[in-house]
């Protein structure tokens, strides 16, 4: 019998289950690169479209785990030395956590987790796990690659348009009973003709480029592996050998690289000093890719005309986090990858990974981040340990 410790975000304050806005969600058979969607053995412990990422939703895992003699412990209290997560961690064989409500598996916590064999990210982005320490302790780290990539790409496109068109302040004006057109449009531009660049053109970055192409913008990218020439020609991409070169020519910059030691604070005062006055920066990758206070300074001094996204550090962000109140921001709590559509796929992927793990079958390599003491699979392609 194994203990599976699952750390999930709290239920809606209005109660669970919520009333759903729609009766169903579309069925997606495969991702744009041909990768198949999660295919756990049925039955799923939930109906796609249900809110499964919160405590009462339990990612739909209880029926499978209990039918197979395992113990499921679901907690939400995850921070501080005496949190429920810390109290249960020494018993856990598997820890499941979502990036939206990350259970930070630091080196100190991993040292206490003597039974831990699998740290499973229900979603994408396993930077809340100290990957070097996980490798040293022989813990496998896996995530549900591609499960919510399109969910995030849609959020990026929405944020680009919201910032450039000054949508959020104009909406606030309508909400408040106002009608001052001049005020609403004095920061509003068309995206058409602008230069858009993404730093990181993997699954999400490429999906963003494809979605923005019909807006008649100039498309740029930087990432450590250059894309095939055919993709560059199809999308009309300009490749930049480093992020510094990209930010000097782009009006809108999107961050879509994983967080690991050498990408932390990629955007600091020095990087902002290279940007065009009035640039927009979108970050749905990870909060720590940016120096928190340098972002605030860049908005205050006009280097940035807008900053938007949904990732912060730490999460949940404290009430006095400066990104909540800085000017010209389009921030949300970390929601872009947690749409009900995305939840259905990452919950199914979590079940698939658990079934393989408990039945001694290999976990798909595209789901592996760390395995056998080093980066593996998708992790070897996208992360670094330094």
Q: Which residues are catalytic?
A: 148, 286, 315, 334
Residue owning tokens 């199914």: 348
State the nearest-atom distance from the C-beta of 376 to ligand NAD, in Å: 13
Q: From residue 9, how far is each of 97, 142, 226, 284, 319 by CA, in Å?
A: 9, 20, 37, 19, 17
Cα-based angle 158, 163, 168 (whole degrees, multiple of 5): 85
| Candidate ranges 53-61, 102-110, 251-259, 299-307; the one touching ligand NAD (CB under 6 A) | 251-259
Instruction: Pick out residues in 316-345 that bind ligand NAD (CB under 6 A).
Output: 334, 336-337
| Candidate ranges 49-57, 117-125, 245-253, 366-374; the one touching ligand NAD (CB under 6 A) | 117-125
375 binds ligand NAD (CB under 6 A): no
* Residue from the set 70, 109, 286, 288 that interacts with ligand NAD by CB under 6 A: 286
* Residue from the set 93, 251, 310, 352 that interacts with ligand NAD by CB under 6 A: 310
H helices of the chain, where? 62-67, 84-88, 107-112, 131-136, 149-164, 167-175, 181-185, 203-212, 229-235, 243-249, 269-272, 292-300, 340-358, 377-382
State the nearest-atom distance from the C-beta of 244 to ligand NAD, in Å: 12
CA dist., res. 19 & res. 68, Å (int): 31
CA dist., res. 154 & res. 270, Å (int): 30
Count the site residues for ligand NAD by CB under 6 A: 29
State the nearest-atom distance from the C-beta of 110 to ligand NAD, in Å: 20
* Residue from the set 70, 88, 128, 203 that interacts with ligand NAD by CB under 6 A: 203
Give the residue closest to ligand NAD by C-beta.
Answer: 202
State the nearest-atom distance from the C-beta of 301 to ligand NAD, in Å: 26
Q: Are 29 and 112 in contact (CB under 8 A)?
A: no
Residue owning tokens 């999107």: 254
CA dist., res. 342 & res. 358, Å (int): 24
Judged by beta carbon, residue 2 or residue 212, the one nearer ligand NAD is 212
| Candidate ranges 43-51, 123-131, 245-253, 297-305; the one touching ligand NAD (CB under 6 A) | 123-131
223 binds ligand NAD (CB under 6 A): yes
Residue owning tokens 């390599």: 365
CA dist., res. 91 & res. 62, Å (int): 18
CA dist., res. 36 & res. 271, Å (int): 38
In sequence order, which residues have a C-beta less than 8 Å from that of residue 139 and are 6 or more positions away?
110, 113, 116, 117, 118, 119, 129, 370
State the nearest-atom distance from the C-beta of 203 to ligand NAD, in Å: 4
98 binds ligand NAD (CB under 6 A): no
CA dist., res. 345 & res. 39, Å (int): 9
CA dist., res. 312 & res. 334, Å (int): 8
256 binds ligand NAD (CB under 6 A): yes
Judged by beta carbon, residue 253 or residue 257, the one nearer ligand NAD is 257
285 binds ligand NAD (CB under 6 A): yes
State the nearest-atom distance from the C-beta of 299 to ligand NAD, in Å: 20
| Candidate ranges 19-27, 129-137, 186-194, 254-262; the one touching ligand NAD (CB under 6 A) | 254-262
CA dist., res. 329 & res. 287, Å (int): 14
Query: Binding residues for ligand NAD, per CB under 6 A?
Result: 123-125, 148-149, 152, 200, 202-205, 222-225, 256-259, 263, 284-286, 310-311, 334, 336-337, 382
């Amino acid at each position: 019998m194994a203990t599976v410790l699952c750390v999930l975000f709290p239920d809606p304050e209005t109660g669970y289950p919520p009333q759903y806005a729609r009766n169903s969600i579309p069925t997606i058979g495969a991702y744009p690169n041909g990768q198949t969607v999660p295919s756990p053995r049925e039955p799923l412990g939930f109906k796609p479209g249900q809110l499964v990422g919160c405590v009462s939703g339990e990612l739909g895992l209880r029926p499978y785990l209990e039918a197979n003699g395992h113990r499921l412990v679901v907690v939400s209290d995850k921070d501080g030395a005496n949190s429920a997560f810390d109290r249960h961690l020494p018993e856990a064989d598997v820890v499941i956590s979502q990036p939206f409500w990350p259970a930070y598996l630091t080196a100190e916590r991993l040292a206490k987790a003597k039974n831990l064999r699998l740290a499973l990210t229900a979603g994408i982005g396993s930077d809340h796990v100290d990957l070097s320490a996980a490798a040293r302790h022989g813990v496998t780290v896996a995530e549900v690659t591609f499960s919510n990539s399109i969910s995030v790409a849609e959020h990026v496109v929405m944020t680009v348009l919201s910032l450039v068109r000054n949508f959020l302040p104009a909406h606030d004006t309508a909400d408040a009973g106002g009608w001052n057109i001049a005020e609403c449009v004095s920061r509003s531009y068309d995206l058409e003709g602008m230069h858009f660049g993404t730093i990181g053109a993997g699954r999400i970055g490429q999906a963003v480029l494809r979605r923005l192409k019909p807006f008649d913008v100039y498309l740029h990218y930087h990432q450590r592996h250059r894309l095939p020439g055919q993709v560059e020609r199809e999308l009309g991409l300009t490749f930049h050998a480093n992020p510094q070169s990209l930010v000097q020519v782009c009006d809108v910059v999107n961050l879509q690289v994983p967080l690991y030691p050498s990408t932390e604070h990629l955007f600091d005062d020095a990087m902002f000093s290279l940007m065009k006055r009035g640039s927009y920066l979108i970050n749905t990758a990870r909060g720590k890719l940016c120096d928190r206070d340098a972002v605030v300074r860049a908005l205050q001094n006009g280097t940035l005309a807008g900053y938007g996204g949904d990732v912060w550090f730490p999460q949940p962000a404290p009430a006095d986090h400066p990104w909540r109140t800085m000017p010209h921001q389009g921030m949300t709590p970390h929601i872009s990858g947690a749409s009900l559509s995305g939840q259905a796929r990452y919950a199914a992927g979590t079940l698939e990974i658990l079934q393989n793990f408990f039945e001694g079958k290999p976990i798909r390599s595209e789901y592996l981040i760390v395995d056998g003491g080093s980066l593996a699979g998708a992790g070897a392609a996208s992360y670094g340990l330094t």
